Structure 1
């Protein structure tokens, strides 16, 4: 092949060679060469900073009872992102600059959580130390970010330039860039921005569900201060309950503590432990909603179950997930029932979890919906448990459902049905239908956790409620004590005893009078027939 010839008779390849030689002979100035090298060093340093930050700018830290991971990422605008899996994220316009801070909350540390629950002043101290924990974590993250940025720039500089001197310059530039970015973020910090976060995921509902977080935190501080007095009054109430009717008759029988709807309230556990110890409880029965969202971090809340020292029989509520049930089942002494019949503490107990999982609804039962489809779904859960009891060939002494709408399907199958979900107490006697000799009695428990944090939203906080059930040697419910602990600023504890009047054939069952509340910790005892 013949190369094309230009007008002056020279071939194009020869002309290109001549031009390149001429360019090489042009005398470049020292300033121009230095500018080129400096630009190359700056580019390599920036690349090293980005690579180092992406690979290693993270640090583990403890924020209160949480195990958290903090990390820094390059970004076009500075902000802080708080990840709370699986609920979503909070985005806070906290600072300016090219760095984004991410805080991912992980599992709760069981030891610190237990200490927080056990110590009435732990909540107050934890709220005071969270800021210090966060600042310490950010300082460690800052030092680590600077280190990995410089190291990344030096390594890439050595690979590109194969010169120790120029690699050192890359490290110096990376140090200046990183420190400058961190300084810009610190200098433009906006602490007030935490009051106006942007929500993503399920947390979009958080403002409506939680309400005024600052006021709730203040109320909870008051609530925690009252806890010592409240728990002490539980002991005093036990001294008084010895004098109530039929105590001698039920002494030595089976005693069961019925709790429900704890909703992550740490104040519930010390009270439960006190009642278990003082009332000589043989087993605790939990009819569900021990958590709010059923998430993995919440699962560590159930660690106090193993400290009770008695069997803990549990069914899922509509706010509890399979993760929650699994965490409960791993606790020493816990029994998780899912359409099963078991023998615990001398009683034959049957239970089934709520067929729904609705963590995105309000904790209040009104948020769970009452459509015809939902009612049928809940009723069918009771029917399923009734079929399991019949198939077992032996009657059950107690049946556990979360929603009382499941109870009618168990009418006549089980004499006593325990439930929760409504966050207030009710006693119902189911109708006497054809083929049913003795209608079932439904005891609906209030919220042992005071409806969680939402119980502090109103002017009158939701009280903590639980009941002690007394069974005789025939496994028949003989009486029950309804215990109520007052809310914020109310250290009172009230007790209402109901004695089961064995109905004679043809004699209607009349309801109990409502519980008596007094401003003192001394309980009020009543002797009355069972309620509706």
Structure 2
């Protein structure tokens, strides 16, 4: 057979074989169903867009004196979440869309805060400045989010399909989905959501701190000024404590820092830490009301106590619950006193009792001063027992001055708080009662006062051998929006030149 005929037959056979391989009715490789292809593309687009937002979709932007991070996150319900570490978070039902706006308040910028401190006239325009900052940050976030979702979806599409056209289709679909989400958020925007926020963490006490949300809106000018002062207050307090005059006691002097009624003010820990360092404090004594509501959600607020630089002796106040007490008992470097329990800390013998009433619990009727006196009598009996056992107590501690007064004659010095103002008096049987003000400046609730409440603490100097009070310094810092700092020295009359130093005489058990 001629070679030309053979080549022609072979060519026809090969063409027939190739046509059968590519024929849809005789395909050897099954193509996926169009719905399956669409679902796969949709999954690739969503995954790539989410990864893009996660990696590059965050914007850092200043809002007033604060540094914040804004991010869009996929969500089934939408809304806005504002994280204020370490205080907690608040959530707003601001919109309904498959994306949520997360705002993280990172830190207070000291430079911008100091500018407000030095130029108070800028507070008048703080609202407009914050509004402009938020608007600028939102625009930048929208642009970056578009780039993030398109880049993420296109990159993942290219990795999965290995075809540029599919990658471009993935990026385009991601952009369309983001635009649709933005349109949905805009259409469902609810500006009244600020009236009904949901709080978590320490901010769960915010409704009772700042009052009814509608009153905030109706009196926004007042709250605007208070908020502007609040965000600079921490910086001012740090500055004030760092410039206090230091006392150089001789080696025979013990130094005790008395604090009270912190009421959830985070600035108190830095103030205490600064005083411990400057005054070389041996022991810190807290006469209670460290919390506001005594809930488990507030417990994380107590964690800095373990690292304040000195042993921490604590008694329960009427705003501190048994939940609070059990949490503190597990913290390192903390000594919890209750029921007249006595401990020796740094060579000092201290006994105390917790407040018998937990007033945030509205299901229990408070018994008033009668319950406080009963608790004070139990503490007095414990002090008497300690003396008879040969281990006399140097300092007694109770939260309420009513309870503290019942220890008269049993101990040289008794410490209390509760009333948010200072008072020192010698009781009829010789015991000195020292009532401390609020080391937290009234706590977060201070924004409700007409006048800012001052921050107060005292440093007590005791003879290391006799444990008698030699002198004390009353430290007073300006409260909300103020920058004053004052230290006043006080010396007991019996320690003045030429005066005897009598100790209170024991009295029969009551």
Structure 2 CA distance for partners of 1:396 and 1:82, relative to 1, 3 Å: same
Corresponding residue number in structure 2 for 1:410: 407
1:295 Cα offset (Å)? 4.8
Deviations 1:143-187 (A, max 9, x none): 99899999999xxxxxxxxxx9xx999978974663234332565
User: Distance between the aligned counterparts of 1:267 and 1:201, measured in 2?
Assistant: 20
Structure 2 CA distance for partners of 1:134 and 1:97, relative to 1, 3 Å: closer
Corresponding residue number in structure 2 for 1:199: 197
User: Distance between the aligned counterparts of 1:40 and 1:70, measured in 2?
Assistant: 29
Corresponding residue number in structure 2 for 1:215: 225
How many residue pairs match? The answer is 429
SS at match of 1:223: helix
Structure 2 CA distance for partners of 1:179 and 1:88, relative to 1, 3 Å: closer
> Does the CA contact (< 8 Å) of 1:317 and 1:353 recur in 2?
yes
User: Distance between the aligned counterparts of 1:315 and 1:284, measured in 2?
Assistant: 12
Deviations 1:83-129 (A, max 9, x none): 89998954242x45454557799xx9xxx89x99xx986999xx999
1:463 Cα offset (Å)? 1.2
> Does the CA contact (< 8 Å) of 2:199 and 2:206 recur in 1?
no
SS at match of 1:480: strand
Corresponding residue number in structure 2 for 1:471: 462
TM-score of the aligned structures, taking structure 1 as reference length = 0.59
Corresponding residue number in structure 2 for 1:179: 178
Identify unmatched segments of 5+ residues in structure 1.
1-35, 154-163, 362-366, 433-437, 508-532
> Does the CA contact (< 8 Å) of 1:222 and 1:489 recur in 2?
no
Corresponding residue number in structure 2 for 1:523: none
Structure 2 CA distance for partners of 1:221 and 1:173, relative to 1, 3 Å: closer
Corresponding residue number in structure 1 for 2:7: none
SS at match of 2:233: helix
> Does the CA contact (< 8 Å) of 1:342 and 1:350 recur in 2?
yes
User: Distance between the aligned counterparts of 2:69 and 2:172, measured in 1?
Assistant: 34
1:306 and 2:303 correspond: no
> Does the CA contact (< 8 Å) of 1:45 and 1:174 recur in 2?
no
Deviations 1:279-331 (A, max 9, x none): 343222122233445555662564265243x3222233344453576368534
SS at match of 2:275: helix
Structure 2 CA distance for partners of 1:399 and 1:47, relative to 1, 3 Å: same
User: Distance between the aligned counterparts of 2:47 and 2:236, measured in 1?
Assistant: 52
Structure 2 CA distance for partners of 1:51 and 1:348, relative to 1, 3 Å: same
TM-score of the aligned structures, taking structure 2 as reference length = 0.61
Corresponding residue number in structure 2 for 1:421: 418
User: Distance between the aligned counterparts of 2:237 and 2:87, measured in 1?
Assistant: 31
1:369 Cα offset (Å)? 12
SS at match of 1:470: strand
> Does the CA contact (< 8 Å) of 1:299 and 1:327 recur in 2?
no
What is the RMSD computed on CA atoms of the aligned residues? 5.7
> Does the CA contact (< 8 Å) of 1:379 and 1:409 recur in 2?
yes
SS at match of 2:459: strand
Corresponding residue number in structure 2 for 1:491: 484
User: Distance between the aligned counterparts of 2:410 and 2:364, measured in 1?
Assistant: 25
Corresponding residue number in structure 2 for 1:447: 438
Corresponding residue number in structure 1 for 2:241: 231
Structure 2 CA distance for partners of 1:320 and 1:371, relative to 1, 3 Å: closer
1:347 and 2:348 correspond: yes
